[in-house]
Amino acid sequence: MRIIEPERITHAVATMCVHACRVLPADVRTALERALAEETHPAGRAILSQLVDNYRLAEEQGLPLCQDTGLAVFFVEMGADVHVPGGIRAAIEAGVRQGYDEGLLRKSACHPLTRCNTGDNTPAIIHLEHVPGDGLRIAFMAKGGGSENMSRVTMLAPAQGWEGVRRFVVERVAEAGPNPCPPVVVGVGIGGTFELAARLAKQALLRTLDDTHPDPTIAALEAELLHDINALGIGPMGLGGRTTALGVKIALHPCHIASLPVAVNIQCHSARHEEVRL
């Protein structure tokens, strides 16, 4: 049994929350810069240029990239031989509290009905998975509300197949239009159950933009969706152009013979995520 002190996790999480909200990941920067080089629509170009200026300024000044520093979402892979005294969830929550306070990040968590702010951006949304071994991997995503609001789950009939999935995903991005801060990243969960499809869609957003799905068939479907989404012409901030999405990431899971669950989780261009291994 390997013991990991909770203070170590708390410190790592706090550091990660602050850094992720200030420094855009390298793959997202590259994607934005490439989009700027390739975008021909003047209004779309102007927006992309501001986004590049924004991430440079945020890093240089230590400011959050966006005022919506999100709900703190975690995907945790915890080795079965790891023990965290007091529990992994408590250690992560303490890191969120510390990071959002010290990093001057916005606390956006509130009671769903009274709308009363919890004051410290907890509870975090923690997806915990036990894996063999004695490692601990914590992936963090600062998930903004604007893009999250444009996300959807549906239960298609199996007969609708890939064409049904394709139409649902592209139509969702079309309907979302300028609202989720395009250019977006589109996470697609296909299969599983109602709730697992949504989780898969979110988890898919943790992949880097420059990776290729290991299954060539799925990689081709991702390319097809990206092509169709960009054909919509919504463009940066909905002002027009070829850059509506920077990437599409699909995750699959076997499902019931009666079902074809599909989830679309939209991520804004400020695709802030980071991970730490302890």
Is 63 one of the binding residues for other proteins (CB under 8 A)?
A: yes
Is 228 one of the binding residues for other proteins (CB under 8 A)?
A: yes
Of 10 and 108, nearer to other proteins (C-beta) is 108
Is 35 one of the binding residues for other proteins (CB under 8 A)?
A: no
Is 8 one of the binding residues for other proteins (CB under 8 A)?
A: no
Residues 88 to 107 in contact with other proteins, rule: CB under 8 A: 104-107
For 166, counting Cβ atoms within 10 Å of its Cβ (0-12 exposed, 13-18 middle, 19+ buried), the class is middle
* Total residues binding other proteins (CB under 8 A): 53
Is 123 one of the binding residues for other proteins (CB under 8 A)?
A: no
Is 126 one of the binding residues for other proteins (CB under 8 A)?
A: no
Is 171 one of the binding residues for other proteins (CB under 8 A)?
A: yes
Of 55 and 74, nearer to other proteins (C-beta) is 55
One residue of 9, 234, 250, 262 binding other proteins per CB under 8 A = 234
Which of 11-31 are b and which e, b meaning 16 or more Cβ less than 10 Å from the residue's Cβ? Answer: bbbbbbbbbbbbbbbebbbeb
One residue of 23, 218, 219, 239 binding other proteins per CB under 8 A = 239
We find the least distance from the C-beta atom of residue 162 to other proteins, in angstroms, to be: 12
Mask for 36-55, x = binds other proteins (CB under 8 A): -------x---x--xx-xxx
Give the pairing type, strands 184-191 and 260-267.
antiparallel
We find the least distance from the C-beta atom of residue 116 to other proteins, in angstroms, to be: 9
We find the least distance from the C-beta atom of residue 33 to other proteins, in angstroms, to be: 15
One residue of 88, 138, 181, 255 binding other proteins per CB under 8 A = 181
We find the least distance from the C-beta atom of residue 256 to other proteins, in angstroms, to be: 26
